[in-house]
Amino acid sequence: MPKHTIVIMPGDGIGRVVMQEAIRVLNALGFDASYIEADIGWDLWCKEGNALPERTIKLLEQHKVGLFGAITSKPKEEAEAELSPDLKGKGYVYASPIVGMRQHFDLDICIRPCHTYKGNPLNFIRRGTQGQIEEPYIDVVIFRQNTEGLYCGVEWSHPDGIVYEALRTHKNFVKNFGDVPREDLAVSTRIFTRKATERILRAAFEHAAAYGYKTVTLCEKPNVSRETSGMMYNMAKAMQKEYPGIELQNTNIDAQMMWLTKNPEDYGVIVAGNMFGDIVSDGFAGLIGGLGFACSANIGEKAAVFEPTHGSAPKYASYEVPIVNPIAMIESACLMLDYLNEKALSEKIRSAIAAVILEGKVRTYDMMKMKGEPDVLKKGAASTREMGDAIIKEGTRKE
């Protein structure tokens, strides 16, 4: 019997393409697992009115570990328009499957590592004091609270009744919005709880301690969001006393987005709430090559789902020969291996990726700074499969 059972959810567009490469790499390098494919994505929404059907939830409840590709998401009105005719007007509302999984399984800890691969032509560079070109080494791990904050889904349009009356109990609401007609109001809440905040802070400090990082940087906005960011900052200050060898830094999200292109090598572990964590992780991903290199883990107490942070890019899925970069998906599989205590294998795969990038003979179109058109293969870019082949060849090379 295989050692592990993995629920794979390829999803839409290039999700299927990159998932195939990740599974090929895992199998070729000796991962002892069986895979169960689960339904998820846009076609399910159109046909069933649910992009995350209950049968997929049941599989994840049973097997606990999921590997997710990508899904297509569209605004409310566009999603409604694409429903099967027999489902229209029956109250179906599109909801993001990955957000649904995070909420259902309380996958509250999101980990997004961003590290430089030497030789990647997309790496961030800058000019030094004498005009010389510098390429700082970036090794940042973002810990993002994954289930609360602005993504918690507690929202209203045209709030009325008890909700409107509750808003009017706050003096700033009355002062700034008291005369606004209710039909002109839309309200999103930003909710932090002490339990979830403690868990993400603890995960960040523990990671820093385990892997030798000297700093944990809280990236929030406590000078403005005094109740939510303020609570997180105060809890971080108290927790830091348990880790005397780790310095707690505090940066505002807006300033952090400036500093990450000035001195990105100065940061190690970064921790933030949901929205700010999303923003800063994409910012750092841009410094290491973009979304083709951006992986993530969604971890709860009872289940975990691993995914690249890019979208489904349906345009590229229609190409006869896939051209997209599969490294983010393969790196996400490595995070899954870490979670399953298969760290020797995850390091072997990462080393193979690093060797392929350093050699520079196999590069996908994004790494060659080309537009994603079908003719990039004729111009020397590697296909998705060729990148997978190169990683497999390097990973299975005899020492």
pLDDT of residue 399: 54
As given in the structure block, the two tokens for residue 167 are 């808003």
Structure tokens at 395: 């990973």
How sure is the predictor about 153, in pLDDT bands with cuts at 50, 70 and 90?
confident
226-255 tens-digit pLDDT = 999 999 999 999 999 999 999 999 999 999
User: What is the reported pLDDT for 331?
Assistant: 98
Encode pLDDT of 356-395 as tens digits.
999 999 999 999 999 999 999 999 999 999 999 999 999 9
Greater pLDDT, 291 or 109: 109
What does the pLDDT look like over 87-136, one tens digit per residue?
998 889 898 899 899 999 999 999 999 999 999 999 999 999 999 999 99
- What is the band of 262 on the pLDDT scale with cuts at 50, 70, 90? very high
The percent of residues above 70 in pLDDT, for the chain, comes to 99
Which H or E run contains 5? Answer: strand 4-11
Q: How far is CA 335 from the centre of its chain?
A: 12
- Residue range 301-316: mean pLDDT, rounded: 94
Query: Is-contact 323 292, C-beta < 8 A?
Result: no
DSSP 252-307: EHHHHHHHTTT-GGG--EEEE-HHHHHHHHHHHHHHTTSGGG-EEEEE-SS-EEEE
Q: What is the average pLDDT value for the chain, to the nearest integer?
A: 95
The hierarchical CATH code for the domain 124-151+192-287 is 3.40.718.10
- By the 8 A CB rule, do 225 and 150 touch? no
Nearest to 385 by CA among 48, 5, 86, 23: 23
CB 69 within 8 A of CB 15: yes
Q: How far is CA 110 from CA 223, 245, 275, in A?
A: 25, 24, 12
- Nearest-5° Cα angle at 235, 257 to 154: 70
In Å, how far are 4, 28, 34, 217, 259 from 1, measured between CA atoms?
Answer: 9, 18, 9, 44, 50
Cβ atoms 13, 312 nearer than 8 A: yes
The CA distance from 363 to 325, in Å, is: 9
Residue 24: pLDDT band by 50, 70, 90 thresholds?
Answer: very high
Regarding the domain with residue range 1-110+294-399, which homologous superfamily does it belong to in the CATH classification?
Isopropylmalate Dehydrogenase (3.40.718.10)
Domain residues of the chain, as ranges? 1-110+294-399, 124-151+192-287, 155-188
Domains 1-110+294-399 and 124-151+192-287 share a fold: yes
**Sign of the Cα pseudo-torsion (136, 275, 56, 42, in order):** negative
Residues 27-56 have pLDDT tens digits of 999 999 999 999 999 999 999 999 999 999
Is pLDDT of 398 > 70? no
